[in-house]
Amino acid sequence: MLSLKNRIRRNEFLRRNEFLWRVLRRMYRSAKYCSATAWGQWRKKKANLLYIDPASVLYDQLAHAQSTQDPTLLDAILARRVEGQAEYVQIPQFVSGVELIESGTAVAGCTTAEAYLEHWQHIEKLYRAARENGCAALAERRPDGRWLGATVQIGRQGEFILETGLPHLAIARLLGFAKMPVLVTRYHPEWAKLRRDIIKIVVQRGFIHQPFNHPDLDMIPEVYGNYLKNKTKYGNERWDYIVDSLPVATGTVLDIGSYFGYFAHRFEALGFECFAVEPDKENLAVLKRYRQIMGKRFTVWETSLFDIPRFEFDIVLALNIFHHLVKTRYHYEQLIEFLGKLRCQAMYFEPHQTGASSYKSLNDQEFINFVLSNSVLNNYRWLGYTTEERNVYLLTV
């Protein structure tokens, strides 16, 4: 039995009435977005609970000065007490805290020496639990479920700013944890807008193609996505293949079908000058906003691949993109013209089997031969598989 969406798609009258088709499609997407947003709000606590690298957490000492202690002080007391087996009265930092309290200054929210001792006994208990059971022990809650672990705010550039839970951060760092649980309480407006743009895309498509390598953004498909929600279509494996085989240490890079700019961000971090082409308007909006937020400088061309203003680069990325350009005779001929103009030292190429309905149906080897015969490139070698079991090749002059 056909779903309502497929029935609408197959309705001949609607297919011929472009305006009505667009209205219904927008209504469907709007309803889908609203329902998914409501579902996401219902799962808000799960969406806001992230596991992040303790080293990435920013500590605002001025903001915490009146309510807690310096991270190095926490580390010192814990190390002396738990690892050195020292009594609290033998630890200078603890004694100094008691002296401040007795002089009328609250320390770590404590106004009596007894409360201060209980405070440290609780931290010590939490430390031992984390050492025995791992970072999950730092996801501390009251019996009624209220969160007692670390809380953070996310800044404009996605930075994690500690709000509460300095002891949890100190324990995670002292034990060398790669991850620690935190609850996000607030987003910078610029970051919140980026999240909303990504959520809209995930709601419509159910997944994202590439990771952001940011815990908050990579959590979005799990909360708002469909059957593909537990993963992005690709991980970091393609980048690993590329960075291990780079033929040049610096230069220019053309990223065809840049999506959200994953490769442009990474190449720029290596010192390359990057140029990104992305035809999808929704992807382009996220690409530009994410570039701005992260303070990147790579160029984004809002044009067709065939109309870019230059054709000479050191490296070209053609990952899972060219099969879209052989579906019609017009685009096939345009692709041949583009390859003839292109001048590059290397191309990272990920072909995809074209369908029988395409103007040209090509397997991997046929696609490689097509690119080589129409460009300055002459050689190729296989680099590896993607998570979707597609092949990645390096084509060189």
Instruction: Measure Cα distances from 148 to 67, 164, 182, 185 in Å.
Output: 15, 9, 10, 13
Rounded CA-CA distance 55/169 in Å is: 9
Contact 256, 318 (CB under 8 A): yes
Largest CA distance in the chain: 85
DSSP, collapsed to helix, strand or coil, labels residue 128 as helix
Long-range contacts made by residues 71-75, C-beta under 8 angstroms, separation at least 24? 71/166, 71/169, 71/170, 71/173, 74/123, 74/166, 74/167, 74/170, 75/170, 75/173, 75/174
Contacts of 355 (CB under 8 A, 6+ apart): 327, 361
Which residue in this structure is represented by tokens 């690409």? Answer: 287
Sheet holding 180-187, edge to edge: 49-52, 180-187, 150-154, 160-164, 57-58
Per the CB < 8 A criterion, the answer to whether 382 and 393 are in contact is yes
Domains of the chain: 49-187 (no CATH), 190-233 (no CATH), 237-396 (3.40.50.150)
The tens place of each residue's pLDDT in the chain, 397 residues long, gives 445 555 555 555 555 566 666 676 667 666 666 665 655 555 555 668 999 999 999 876 444 443 445 556 676 787 777 776 788 888 888 888 899 999 998 888 899 999 999 988 998 899 999 999 999 999 999 888 889 999 999 999 999 999 988 889 989 988 999 999 999 999 999 999 999 899 888 887 777 888 898 999 988 888 877 655 555 567 789 999 999 999 999 999 999 999 999 999 999 999 999 999 998 888 999 999 999 999 999 999 998 899 999 999 999 999 999 998 998 999 999 999 999 999 999 999 999 876 667 788 889 999 999 999 999 999 999 999 887 788 999 999 9
Cα separation of 193 and 136, whole Å?
30
Question: What is d(CA 127, CA 170) in angstroms, rounded to the nearest whole number?
Answer: 9
As a whole number of angstroms, the distance between CA 224 and CA 226 comes to 7
pLDDT in tens, 263-294: 999 999 999 999 999 988 889 999 999 999 99
Do 268 and 298 form a contact (C-beta atoms < 8 A)? Answer: yes
* Residue pair 106/113 in contact by the 8 Å Cβ criterion: no
Beta carbons within 8 Å of 167's beta carbon, 6+ residues apart: 68, 74, 123, 126
Amino acid present at 152:
V
pLDDT score for 136: 93
3-state SS, residue 68: coil
User: Using alpha carbons only, what angle is made at residue 190 by residues 188 and 196, rounded to the nearest 5 degrees?
Assistant: 100
336-373 pLDDT tens trace? 999 999 999 999 999 987 666 778 888 999 999 999 99
What the block records as the tokens of 366 is 């046929």
